[in-house]
Structure 1
Amino acid sequence: MLTSPPVFTLLCILSMVQAEVGPNFKECSEYFYKDQVPALGVAGTHICQRYKNRYHFATLYDTQHRIPVYSAYIFKPGNGQGRPTTWFVEPQLVSSKWSPEMMYESQCPDKNKALLGKNQALDEDYDNLHREIHRGHLNPYSHNIGESAIATFTLTNAVPQVGAMNSGVWRVHEVKLHTLFQNRCSKAYAVVGAIPSANNWINANRVNVPDYLWSAYCCVDNNGKPIGSGAAWVENKKGVKVVEGSLVQLVQFLKSGDIFDKNCK
């Protein structure tokens, strides 16, 4: 149902630091419950999202559609205030000689737009869309704090999301999860993904506008024992409602394998 081609196995610019982009999530497996990667049956580019010399979450990235397949993170209660206005890009999707840390386009060694945007979305892809299409976070800014919150502002964590849906029912869903995670879970593992469309794009077929967004969570207690789970999905258009259900129902909807180990049971 979801497709994306693998890209390069890249090395980081500092020989003693593990690469951020590579063939697996070995360096940031902590963001997956019991280190299990969702069994979606798709290939993609594995990004351990690195900012200020540490990893903050994990993203499987689709370089063909130039959107993430999903981002996986551990909830850290934030207040959603002081949001950045500038978005990062992933340097190692451009060159293995570039920094392993996310950076702004203006910081890249080469400013050639064709080079920068070959495997990923750029800020200019969202220009002139006004409020109709947002840079929609998968890992929400409000579910993080401090540097982890800032790190969510990378275009490898964003999809073109219908503005009315993003600021409406999906925002309500994110707030609901924030409250649930904060009040019920000692630790909450979350995975949020997107299903690309067949023929809906922005900026002359450069960045795919997904048909659906989905989310899944697994709550554990202080001993790491599962105490709750759930899922949701929504069409990426105006006038829709978020469908809430179980992890099993989400797996059926995605026609995939388990999102979490043993469905978080």
Structure 2
Amino acid sequence: MLTVVRLCAPLLLLLLLSVHADIVDRFQDVPDCLKYFYKQKVPGWGSATPDAAHLCQRFVNRYHFATLYDTRHRIAVYSAYVFQPSNGGGREKRWFVEPQLVNASWQAEMKDGYWLGKDHPGVYLGEKQALNEDYTHSGFDRGHLNPNGHHAVPSRNATFTLTNVVPQNPKFNQNAWRIHESDLTNLFLQKCSRAYVLVGAIPSADNWIVKNNVKRVNIPDYLWNAYCCVDNNDRPVQSGAARARNTEDNMVQKVSVDQLEDFLQQFSNQPVGELFYNSCRV
């Protein structure tokens, strides 16, 4: 029996490490991360993104949402989450980064970028992700994809990771998009037992935040989101989507999930397929 235990221990350790890893090969491999997708269906959208990282966003030792992160453009392809009624709590003053995007052996939980730098002096943290200083004096907001207002603490705090952020036009972020997120809050509270949400960005061809003559963070052309609202039996009751140009036009166009899937197809060489199981058809 002791021999069997010794042989199984390395395998058990490997399994435990894989369960708690923040960066995973596939969302499907981590049940606690997969739960942010309706019927556990991960969309095909973005799957062909070169060097994309699958992040199970971990904070205070548990997962809060999932992000497909484009390490070349240093913005998220999308974040997936389940809406939570807010329980108050202020905005984070910290901005987190993903340690494992710097070194796979580092901690699996997001950490304040300032203190991670202090822990590893001389190590550059920004090769595969945006840093807080990239946004400083850039003229762009640190625009949440997964909004903090759609969560209770501590999930609310976890949204303040730069892997959940894109450069957003300030006028658009603080007006039309903010109002759209607020309208969704009211809808989810009134109509849904549970709401599954995807929020993403479409990168521009060549528009970047540039620091020291280096293209650091891509400025997306479009933002989009989609939701699937279900009842107590996990059956769809309502769905919807929206898209918007990331400009001072400051307009959000509401569309159906099917229409959004058709829109996204313009930016993909592969079939986009369904964003939600059965496209969340009622």
2: CA distance, partners of 1:112 / 1:65: 23
Distance 1:71-1:85 versus aligned 2 partners, 3 A rule: same
Report if the CA contact (8 A) 1:214-1:232 is conserved: yes
Give per-residue Cα distances to partners, 1:25-49, cap 9 Å, x unaligned: 1320000001111121433210000
Match of residue 107, structure 2, among 93, 96, 99 = 99
Aligned residue in 2 for 1:152? 159
Whether 1:24 and 2:34 are equivalent positions in the alignment is no
RMSD: 1.7
Aligned residue in 2 for 1:182? 189
Q: 5 Å matches for 1:111-126? A: 111-112=121-122, 115-126=124-135
Segment of structure 1 superposing worse, 21-30 or 229-238: 21-30
Q: 5 Å matches for 1:54-69? A: 54-69=62-77
Aligned residue in 2 for 1:3? none
What TM-score, normalized to structure 1?
A: 0.91
1: CA distance, partners of 2:235 / 2:18: 35
1: CA distance, partners of 2:205 / 2:87: 36
Aligned residue in 2 for 1:252? 262
Give per-residue Cα distances to partners, 1:7-31, cap 9 Å, x unaligned: xxxx99x848521102111320000
2: CA distance, partners of 1:77 / 1:111: 40
What SS is found at the alignment partner of 1:146?
Answer: coil
Report if the CA contact (8 A) 1:80-1:141 is conserved: no
1:21 counterpart letter in structure 2:
I
Shift of 1:79: 5.8
Shift of 1:180: 0.3
Whether 1:214 and 2:220 are equivalent positions in the alignment is no
Report if the CA contact (8 A) 1:217-1:229 is conserved: yes
Distance 1:193-1:16 versus aligned 2 partners, 3 A rule: closer
Segment of structure 1 superposing worse, 79-88 or 243-252: 79-88
Q: Percent identity?
A: 52
What TM-score, normalized to structure 2?
A: 0.85
Aligned residue in 2 for 1:205? 215
Greater per-residue helix proportion? 2
Shift of 1:112: 3.5
Report if the CA contact (8 A) 1:105-1:111 is conserved: no
Distance 1:17-1:245 versus aligned 2 partners, 3 A rule: closer
Aligned residue in 2 for 1:8? none
- Over alpha carbons, which structure has the higher Rg? 2
Whether 1:35 and 2:50 are equivalent positions in the alignment is no
2: CA distance, partners of 1:207 / 1:240: 21
Whether 1:47 and 2:55 are equivalent positions in the alignment is yes
Report if the CA contact (8 A) 2:209-2:219 is conserved: yes
In structure 2, the gaps of 5 or more residues are 1-12, 266-271
2: CA distance, partners of 1:166 / 1:135: 9
2: CA distance, partners of 1:166 / 1:257: 28
What SS is found at the alignment partner of 2:20?
Answer: coil
Report if the CA contact (8 A) 1:79-1:142 is conserved: no
1: CA distance, partners of 2:88 / 2:142: 16
Q: Give the total of aligned pairs.
A: 251
Report if the CA contact (8 A) 2:207-2:219 is conserved: yes
In structure 1, the gaps of 5 or more residues are 1-10
2: CA distance, partners of 1:15 / 1:85: 30
